[in-house]
Amino acid sequence: MIEPRSHVAVLFALAAAAASAGCAGPSAAQPGAAGLASTGRDAPAKRRVVVISIDGLRPELYLDPAAHGVSLPALTGLARRGVHARGVRGVVPTVTYPSHTTMVTGMRPAGHGIVTNYRFDESGRFINWYWEAEAISATTLWQSARAAGATTAALSWPVTVGADIDHNLPEFPLRGRTYPEYLPQTASPALAAAIAADVTLPDITRSDDYERYLFDVAALVVRRWRPELLLLHVFNTDSKQHGHGRDADEVRAAFEQVDQRVGAFLQVLATQGLSDETLIVITGDHGFVDVHSVVHLNAALVRAGLIELDDYAEVVGWRAMAWPSGGSVALMLRDQADAGTRLLLEQTVDQLLAGQLAGAARKISAAELAERGGMPGAEFALFFNEGYNTGKNLTGPTVERLDGIRGAHGHDPGLARMRTGFLMAGPGVRAGAVIDELPMVDIAPTIAAWAGWRLQGVEGWARSELFVDTAARLHNSPSMDSAGRAGSASTFSR
């Protein structure tokens, strides 16, 4: 069976399982963008940032909602009064945890350390996710904001367990607890108490109700603490696309529902008098493709003698193993000096690509992976074409045909359907500006430059051309790293 990327399943249904069991290089923008025409608007006295990540956001839905049978007035309204991208080029692999970490660091996965959703697992199960913020090896937006004296909040943002965030409700599995037990043990104390007192707790079996809950908590955080940085990650749209494919009625309904919730949240900001000092960023982590088959590469490696199982199908030894990430997979060697195993692995995979997997995937060298900033340590990788996803089975067929269409991601970020979206509005943002393609690594430095936070060592660029009357402030901002990275790009248009 295909493994659904349901975050509710990850957070809660995974508890039972736990008990028993692609990016272009740094942006081509160059330092030293020319000054921009002034509109005469003053910069806000207080700068606040709200980032809402809609998991699986696809840009075509706000670019031409009528053509896709949806009505998204909040997102299209933001596009009209601010900046929007025709697409965001993601990272390798195009899955949730590396992508969200890139959004807040301006680094690709090889640089920030969150190389896929889950850690390498010699058992072959791959169920231990990168939950903890201590795994991040780059400076984050919340660290930069707090260093500048700002109050921070994060709700269901990946890789934030134990993060130095003032008001934090991290994404983390239930692990046998009820939600009332889970909340005070996982969220920061003041936030947990406020939620228990003022917010209806979620039905954890429903991703749509968990989304309702997260927006309710976001409104509570704004009213009570008015943070200078709020990160919010919602994922009902991701769950529906995994379960039904890209274009099902359930998917359209999920996008219309999250649009309504975004609109209601923007109204909360307005009633609190915060709209004129808040930068709103709506983005996503990846696009989606439809899939009809799942490839269990480790089952093939077992048959090739590269993975050894006992009588209970448990791994007792391995020389090579596939580390799956949805539509891509890294091939790992236990001993990189073992030339014989390297040759057998190459032969096994090449035979599959010439046979069962003919036309299904292409091989990516370690050198190309390094250039793309993904899958460090891999001997090589496979990027699967649309129609194929990877699985974790150690036994059974290598290729499993599904009984219907599902949705997946993790594929080559160069695929058009792997693009996600980006909208930005607020003080000093160019109204109606359009970016043809925004590298995901540019998001964090652009936010930090607007807010005046220091975010050093980034691979992306602060996109000063997206703002009016702020070029000088961006170039003089302490958010620039030692290379003074700020710039504009030829992909900008009006």
Of the two residues 20 and 305, the one the predictor is more confident about is 305
Domain of residue 127: give its range: 7-22+41-287+416-493
Do 220 and 356 lie in one domain? The reply is no
Q: Tell me the pLDDT of the chain averaged across its residues.
A: 89
Confidence of residue 43 (pLDDT cuts 50, 70, 90): low
Q: Tell me if 33 is assigned to some domain.
A: no
Say which range, 184-198, 451-465, 470-484, has the weakest mean pLDDT: 470-484
- Which pLDDT score, from 0 to 100, does residue 36 have? 24
Do 280 and 299 lie in one domain? The reply is no
pLDDT at 403 over 80: yes
What CATH number does the domain containing 368 carry?
A: 3.30.1360
- Which pLDDT score, from 0 to 100, does residue 279 have? 98
- Which pLDDT score, from 0 to 100, does residue 37 have? 27
Do 224 and 260 lie in one domain? The reply is yes
Q: How far apart are CA 362 and CA 343, in angstroms?
A: 18
Confidence of residue 195 (pLDDT cuts 50, 70, 90): very high
3-state secondary structure the chain: CCCCCCHHHHHHHHHHHHHHCCCCCCCCCEECCCCCCCCCCCCCCCCEEEEEEECCCCCHHHHCCHHHCCCCHHHHHHHHHCEEECCEECCCCCCHHHHHHHHHHCCCHHHHCCCCCECCCCCCCCCCECCEHHHCCCCCHHHHHHHCCCCEEEECCCCCECCCCCEEECCCCCCCCCHHHHHHHHCCHHHHHHHHHHCCCCCCCCHHHHHHHHHHHHHHHHHHHCCCEEEEEECHHHHHHHHHCCCCHHHHHHHHHHHHHHHHHHHHHHHCCCHHHEEEEEECCCCCEEEEEEECHHHHHHHCCCEEECCCCCEEEECEEEEECCCEEEEEECCCCCHHHHHHHHHHHHHHHHCCCCCCEEEEEHHHHHHHCCCCCCCEEEEECCEEEECCCCCCCCEEEEEEEEEECCCCCCCHHHCECEEEECCCECCCEEECCEEHHHHHHHHHHHHCCCCCCCCCCEEHHHECCCHHHHHCCCCCCCCCCEEECCCEEC
Rg of the chain (C-alpha set): 22
Do 354 and 450 lie in one domain? The reply is no
Confidence of residue 443 (pLDDT cuts 50, 70, 90): very high
pTM for the structure as a whole? 0.89
- Which pLDDT score, from 0 to 100, does residue 485 have? 45
Do 103 and 56 lie in one domain? The reply is yes
pLDDT at 362 over 70: yes
Do 146 and 157 lie in one domain? The reply is yes
Q: Tell me if 379 is assigned to some domain.
A: yes
Do 309 and 437 lie in one domain? The reply is no
Q: Tell me if 488 is assigned to some domain.
A: yes
Do 233 and 245 lie in one domain? The reply is yes
- The region, left, alpha or beta by phi > 0 then psi within -120 to 50, assigned to residue 84 is beta
Q: Tell me if 467 is assigned to some domain.
A: yes
Q: Tell me if 137 is assigned to some domain.
A: yes
Average pLDDT, stretch 266-295? 98
- CA terminus-to-terminus distance, the chain: 45
Chain segment 65-77, per-residue pLDDT in tens: 999 999 999 999 9
- Which pLDDT score, from 0 to 100, does residue 45 have? 67
Letter for the amino acid at 474?
A: L
Average pLDDT, stretch 194-217? 97
In percent, how much of the chain has pLDDT > 70? 86
Do 98 and 220 lie in one domain? The reply is yes
- Which pLDDT score, from 0 to 100, does residue 17 have? 35
What CATH number does the domain containing 183 carry?
A: 3.40.720.10
Distances (CA, A) of 166 to 190, 221, 225, 233: 9, 11, 10, 17
Do 11 and 136 lie in one domain? The reply is yes
Do 104 and 200 lie in one domain? The reply is yes
Domain boundary among 408, 439, 474: 408
- Which pLDDT score, from 0 to 100, does residue 46 have? 84
Q: How far apart are CA 223 and CA 271, in angstroms?
A: 9
Do 402 and 337 lie in one domain? The reply is yes
- Which pLDDT score, from 0 to 100, does residue 33 have? 27
Confidence of residue 2 (pLDDT cuts 50, 70, 90): very low
Domain boundary among 384, 408, 432: 408
Q: Please provide residue 402's backbone torsions phi and psi, each rounded to the nearest 5 degrees.
A: -80, 160
| Residue 346 burial by Cβ neighbours in a 10 Å radius (0-12, 13-18, 19+) | middle
- Which pLDDT score, from 0 to 100, does residue 250 have? 98
Q: Tell me if 424 is assigned to some domain.
A: yes
**How many domains does one find in the chain?**
2
pLDDT at 51 over 50: yes
Domain boundary among 351, 385, 408: 408
Q: Tell me if 27 is assigned to some domain.
A: no
Residue 196 neighbours by CB under 8 Å, 6+ apart: 180, 183, 184
Chain segment 295-353, per-residue pLDDT in tens: 999 999 999 999 999 999 999 999 999 999 999 999 999 999 999 999 999 999 999 99
Q: Tell me if 90 is assigned to some domain.
A: yes
Q: How far apart are CA 67 and CA 95, in angstroms?
A: 27
Residue 397 neighbours by CB under 8 Å, 6+ apart: 296, 299
Of the two residues 225 and 31, the one the predictor is more confident about is 225
